[in-house]
Structure 1
Amino acid sequence: MERIFSRRNILKLGAGALGTGVVTAGVGSQLVSPPKVIAENNISPDQALQQLLEGNERFVNRKRKNPHQSYTRLTEVAKGQKPFASILSCADSRVPSEIIFDQGFGDLFVCRVAGNVATPEEIGSLEFGSLILGSKVIMVLGHERCGAVDATIKGAQVPGQIGSLVAAIQPGIEQSKNQPGDKLENACKANVRAQIEKLKKSTVLSQLIQENKLKIVGGYYDLDTSKITIVS
Structure 2
Amino acid sequence: MKNTAITKNIQSALTPNSVLQDLLEGNKRFMSGNTEGADNAALISQTTGGQFPKAVVLSCIDSRVPVETVLDQAIGDIFVARVAGNFENTDILGSLEYSCNVAGSKLILVLGHESCGAVKAACDGVELGNITAMLDNIMPAVRKSANEVDGEANSSNKEFVAKTVENNVRLTIDRIRQKSQILMEMEDNGEIAIVGGVYSLNTGKVEML
Q: Output the TM-score relative to the length of structure 2.
A: 0.88
Q: What letter corresponds to residue 205 of structure 1 in structure 2?
A: L
In structure 1, the residue matched to 2:195 is 217
Equivalents in 2 of 1:88, 1:38: separation in Å? 25
Cα distance, 1:164 vs structure 2? 2.0
Number of residues paired by the alignment?
194
Cα distance, 1:222 vs structure 2? 0.3
Equivalents in 2 of 1:143, 1:44: separation in Å? 26
Of structures 1 and 2, the one scoring higher in RCO (CA 8 A, sep 6+) is: 2
Q: What letter corresponds to residue 124 of structure 1 in structure 2?
A: G
Mean Cα deviation higher: 194-203 or 178-187: 178-187
SS of structure 2 residue aligned to 1:229:
strand
SS of structure 2 residue aligned to 1:116:
coil
Cα distance, 1:185 vs structure 2? 0.4
**Aligned-residue RMSD, C-alpha:** 1.7
Q: Is the aligned partner of 1:148 residue 2:148? A: no
Runs of 4+ in 1 over 2 A off after TM superposition: 36-41, 178-181
Unaligned runs of 5+ in 1: 1-35
For 1:22-74, what per-residue CA distance to the aligned partner results, in whole angstroms no more than 9, with x for missing partners?
xxxxxxxxxxxxxx98985211100010011000011011111124x420111
Q: What letter corresponds to residue 217 of structure 1 in structure 2?
A: V
Q: What letter corresponds to residue 197 of structure 2 in structure 1?
A: G
Q: What letter corresponds to residue 105 of structure 2 in structure 1?
A: S
For 1:60-105, what per-residue CA distance to the aligned partner results, in whole angstroms no more than 9, with x for missing partners?
11111124x4201111011100000100000111111110000100
Equivalents in 2 of 1:209, 1:38: separation in Å? 21
Q: Is the aligned partner of 1:191 residue 2:191? A: no
Taking a change above 3 Å as real, the CA distance of residues 126 and 85 of structure 1, as seen in their structure-2 partners, is same
Q: What letter corresponds to residue 64 of structure 2 in structure 1?
A: R
Q: Is the aligned partner of 1:61 residue 2:38? A: no
Q: Is the aligned partner of 1:226 residue 2:204? A: yes
Mean Cα deviation higher: 161-170 or 175-184: 175-184
Taking a change above 3 Å as real, the CA distance of residues 39 and 164 of structure 1, as seen in their structure-2 partners, is farther
Q: What letter corresponds to residue 148 of structure 2 in structure 1?
A: Q
Equivalents in 1 of 2:9, 2:143: separation in Å? 39
Decide which of 118, 131, 145 is 1:176's aligned counterpart: 145
Q: Is the aligned partner of 1:118 residue 2:95? A: no
In structure 2, the residue matched to 1:33 is none
Cα distance, 1:206 vs structure 2? 0.6
Cα distance, 1:143 vs structure 2? 0.3
